[in-house]
Amino acid sequence: MVVIVVFLLVCLLRKRHSRPDDQIRLAGSGSSGCSGRVEVYHKSSWGTVCDDEWDMSDAQVVCRQMGCGPALGATGGAGFGEGSGKIWLDDVKCSGNESFLTQCGHRGFGTNNCGHGEDAGVICSVILPKPSFSVTPAFKVMWGQNVRFTCSINTEHSEGTFFLKFSTQNIQTSNSNPATFSLPLVTFDIEGPYYCLYEKVLSGQTFTSPQSDSLKLLVNVVLPVPSLCVSSPADAKCSSDTVYVTRGDSFVVRCSVPSDVPEGLFLLWFSGSNSLVSDPSVNHSASFSFPLSQSQHQGQYSCVYQVTGAGRTYTSNTTLDLIIKCECDDDDETMMMDDDDVMMTKRRPMLT
């Protein structure tokens, strides 16, 4: 007995929910899944709704039944074009919280005093899902590399626009789904949080997706060991071997790095005074001039390269020592030199 009652109840409920008369669709020119002329399925045919007493409460029910967001407008006067066939509903009176349009009060199916010029429509808001967002290479990027972001969304409201955002600013847009955005040859400036958004215009309304998750990029750099050489009037080519300079001559110590690293700062260390001098790189090199060779310029020189970006300092490994020897006269102007300074006593090998 109980079983039969439950069975009948289930049948009744199933019938109510799958009742074809509950079906509606949005049609007409400029219609989309969430806006258009309201059409009702009844007695095996689609018909329209008259705009008499058609208002936001009625539209709210249609929007809910369509699985769209809240109603933005209730249109009359065949705003989405005139339908054809029956005008199924007239004087629709929804309270706004019904689940189906046909649950609202109306004059009875097919009873109306309307023409298709009064066909009713709705504009519902569109609920867009959160886009997926990814980046390659992930998280840590080498300075000068290319970075590629991908943003995609799962929606029937296609052909919208994707925006790549960097600290709330739009930096790129794309109309394809998935959208790819490239940042070529990145520098430290690109560090920060990125996210993407999707926007779709429907019936003159712009709908925006929630923000994607945000992705943070960090830029890293590995600095090569600089090249170090010295040139002098006697030896114009920049030489990395032990170099002999003559008293009174000028010489120039040059540090350089390849052009595929950021500009930075060269630090030149000199053993004689155990001191560092620094010079910003220009075109990836720096020249330290020593105008008049003195014996106290003799010793080992080495160079390191430093780059500061995004508040961090990167330092290269140190070059091998470059040795500079002065062909200075031992007998005068050598008060500054230690007596046991070996380099003082070495002489330049004779060129053959």
Ligand X SMILES: *[C@@H]1O[C@H](CO)[C@@H](O)[C@H](O)[C@H]1NC(C)=O
Binding site for ligand X (CB under 6 A): 95, 97, 222, 224-225, 282-283, 317
Which one of Ca ion, ligand X, none interacts with residue 53, CB within 5 to 8 A by kind? Ca ion
Comparing every residue's Cβ against Ca ion, the nearest one is 52
Q: What is the DSSP letter of 119?
A: B
d(CA 345, CA 238): 24
For residue 267, give the nearest of 245, 290, 288 by alpha carbon.
288
Alpha carbon separation from 4 to 12, 17, 224, 256 (Å, rounded): 12, 20, 84, 92
Q: How far is the CB of 107 from Ca ion (least distance, A)?
A: 7
Is residue 58 involved in binding Ca ion (CB under 5 A)? yes
Q: How far is the CB of 90 from Ca ion (least distance, A)?
A: 4
d(CA 23, CA 44): 11
d(CA 251, CA 253): 7
d(CA 103, CA 94): 8
Which one of ligand X, Ca ion, none interacts with residue 58, CB within 5 to 8 A by kind? Ca ion
Rank residues 93 and 140 by Cβ distance to Ca ion and give the closer one. 93
Rank residues 167 and 317 by Cβ distance to ligand X and give the closer one. 317
Q: How far is the CB of 128 from ligand X (least distance, A)?
A: 27
Is residue 90 involved in binding Ca ion (CB under 5 A)? yes
Is residue 53 involved in binding Ca ion (CB under 5 A)? yes
In whole angstroms, what separates CA 251 from the centre of its chain? 49
Which one of ligand X, Ca ion, none interacts with residue 55, CB within 5 to 8 A by kind? Ca ion
Q: How far is the CB of 322 from ligand X (least distance, A)?
A: 17
Which range, of 10-18, 45-53, 160-168, 188-196, touches Ca ion by CB under 5 A?
45-53
SS3 281: coil
Q: How far is the CB of 113 from ligand X (least distance, A)?
A: 27
Rank residues 91 and 213 by Cβ distance to ligand X and give the closer one. 91
Rank residues 209 and 316 by Cβ distance to ligand X and give the closer one. 316
Rank residues 168 and 283 by Cβ distance to ligand X and give the closer one. 283
Rank residues 17 and 93 by Cβ distance to Ca ion and give the closer one. 93
d(CA 172, CA 147): 13
For residue 30, give the nearest of 92, 78, 100, 86 by alpha carbon.
78
Q: For the purposes of burial, counting CB atoms within 10 Å of the CB of 204, is it exposed (0-12), middle (13-18) or buried (19 or more)?
A: exposed
Token digits for 128?
């867009």
Which one of Ca ion, ligand X, none interacts with residue 283, CB within 5 to 8 A by kind? ligand X
Rank residues 90 and 98 by Cβ distance to Ca ion and give the closer one. 90
Applying CB under 5 A, which residues contact Ca ion?
A: 52-53, 55, 58, 90-93, 113
